[in-house]
Amino acid sequence: MPALRDDNGIRSALDIARMVRDGTATPSAITAECLARIDATQATLNAYVTVCHAEAMRDAKALNAAATSQPLLGVPVSVKDNIETVGVRTTFGSKTRAANMPATEGVAVKRLRAAGAVMVGKTTLPEFASSLLGESPLTGSTRNPWNLALSPGGSSSGAAAAVAAGLGPIALTTDAGASTRLPAALCGVLGIKPSMGLIPYELFPDGFGNFIHMGLMTRTVGDMAAALDVVSGADASDPLSIGVAPTRALAKLAEPLALGKSRIAWRPLLGNAALDDEVRALCERTLEVFKDRGATVDTVIEPFEGAGPTWRVLQQVNWAGRFAVPDEATAAMMDPGFVAGIRAGAAISGNELNAAIYKRTSYFRMVQTWFQSFDWLATPVTTVSSVAADAKGDAPLTINGQPVGELRAVLAPYLNVFNLTGHPAISVPAGFTKAGVPVGIQLVGRLYADTDLLRMAKLIEDIQPWASRIPAAAPH
């Protein structure tokens, strides 16, 4: 029997590890099957920049004889191609880094390997993770496995497509402003941006002013908990992680979460003026899961100054500082939108930067006050359910038949504020539209309430499961 599929769909990471431990599958057989599934879909989905055929089989064979109880023994995982990996190129989705071979490896990657996972490849992203869409000058367009005419979203484009299509049950990602949660929603999988510092992100040059989070994508809550347990916890190289303990989320999932008198703030608008009717209906149907368990769900409609302008200043200054303004020959190889962002960042004054830093603190304090009145926050992930694979960031977006602004500004206004504040946020599948594409709901918790956030997601999974539904583009 194939290791990655059964009659009920794509196997979870927990099932795979269990099969390896009880001897019904071997890491090398599982890895070979996963690599074959990737190869079968590269021409259509284009989820991977680099497929690690030789390296993955070498690592899997070394695990065949390992009599261990490693939590992810033999589980295929993917790593987003802006996370450094020793022995495997890290391109950042850019022609300027196409042959980049790092000398160091991300802490989270090391932890996955130590847990017995097998890295099968590096997943696609827009150049330097700079877009909400799934195209880069280096790799071209990555497609959504639910409908190849649609974008998987970005910037963790390949990760979302891979997890949805069964090309590895766990994906290590990053999230600077939407990059894990948005594609997770568009591809119908789970995507978590943990509390700041919970997963060390030592690869960012500014360890103290960082707003970029390591993230994870999986198909099931159990897999998410198992992966988070492995990669979380302090590392001496990341100052924001110091003192942060690893989670014990998988064990806690077995304990039912009593919502009791919990209050949930449902904010269908968060600095935006429009939301697709079908997206709203699916999210509000999902919130009934919590109402049925005694929680109060209050719809909150109140003014909110969107965090986009503040986030944009911080991100563009980051780009300018890390990459410098390219010369004309180099710029011709790069995404024009990213080059424009670098140039904009180089023109931002010190006063403008300081104003954005101070504004970031005000957003943090504002969100903290929300949690004085409510236990949880819920929002949509996106304002619409899908965007075309060839869409451009500056293209107009239409919601409920009305133009509302540029796609990059209005597609996902609910997300980047929580990068600035550091609060944990997860995209959870909320169902499918009449057109058969997935929709996500975002749940946000208090700082370091990540485990209970997963328990909230588990309540949804138990009532309206999604993992057995397989995209048409997945290998069958």
How much is the pTM?
0.97
Question: What is the residue-averaged pLDDT of the chain?
Answer: 97
Give the strand pairing for 190-193 and 213-218.
antiparallel
Decide: 364 and 325 in contact? Cβ < 8 Å: no
Q: What average pLDDT does this structure show over 227-256?
A: 97
pLDDT of 431 above 80: yes
Residue 315 falls inside a structural domain: no
pLDDT of 8 above 60: no
Indicate if 136 belongs to the active site. no
Q: Which of 179, 195, 385, 427 is catalytic?
A: 179
Residue 183 falls inside a structural domain: yes
Per-residue pLDDT at 66: 76
Please name the residues in contact with 246: beta carbons below 8 A apart, sequence gap of 6 or more: 229, 232, 233
Indicate if 141 belongs to the active site. no
**Distance in angstroms (rounded) separating the CA atoms of residues 321 and 29:** 45
Residue 329 falls inside a structural domain: no
Q: How confident is the model at residue 203 (pLDDT cuts 50, 70, 90)?
A: confident
Indicate if 80 belongs to the active site. yes
> Is the pLDDT higher at 209 or at 4?
209
The tally of domains found in the chain comes to: 1
Q: How confident is the model at residue 1 (pLDDT cuts 50, 70, 90)?
A: very low
Q: pLDDT tens digits, residue range 253-304?
A: 999 899 999 999 999 999 999 999 999 999 999 999 999 999 999 999 999 9
Residue 356 falls inside a structural domain: yes
Its domain, for residue 69, covers: 5-309+349-463
pLDDT of 382 above 50: yes
Residue 416 falls inside a structural domain: yes
79: three-class secondary structure by DSSP: strand
Q: pLDDT tens digits, residue range 29-59?
A: 999 999 999 999 999 999 999 999 999 999 9
DSSP element (H, E) containing 430:
strand 425-432
Q: How confident is the model at residue 4 (pLDDT cuts 50, 70, 90)?
A: low
Q: Which of 78, 80, 95, 122 is catalytic?
A: 80
Q: What average pLDDT does this structure show over 354-367?
A: 99
Report whether the peptide linkage leading into residue 155 is cis, meaning its omega lies within 30 degrees of zero.
Answer: yes
Per-residue pLDDT at 3: 60
Q: What average pLDDT does this structure show over 396-403?
A: 97
Of 171, 153, 157, 244, whose CA–CA distance to 214 is shortest? 171
Of 151, 70, 31, 464, whose CA–CA distance to 288 is shortest? 464
Query: Which regions of 91-222 does DSSP assign to beta strands (E)?
Result: 118-123, 135-136, 140-141, 170-175, 190-193, 213-218
Per-residue pLDDT at 256: 84
| DSSP 8-state assignment for residue 97 | G
Per-residue pLDDT at 476: 80
Q: What average pLDDT does this structure show over 146-169?
A: 98
Per-residue pLDDT at 2: 54
163: three-class secondary structure by DSSP: helix
Q: pLDDT tens digits, residue range 252-265?
A: 999 989 999 999 99
Q: Which of 155, 195, 385, 427 is catalytic?
A: 155
Decide: 411 and 182 in contact? Cβ < 8 Å: yes
| CATH for 377 | 3.90.1300.10
Of 37, 33, 40, whose CA–CA distance to 1 is shortest? 33
Per-residue pLDDT at 68: 78
Per-residue pLDDT at 264: 99
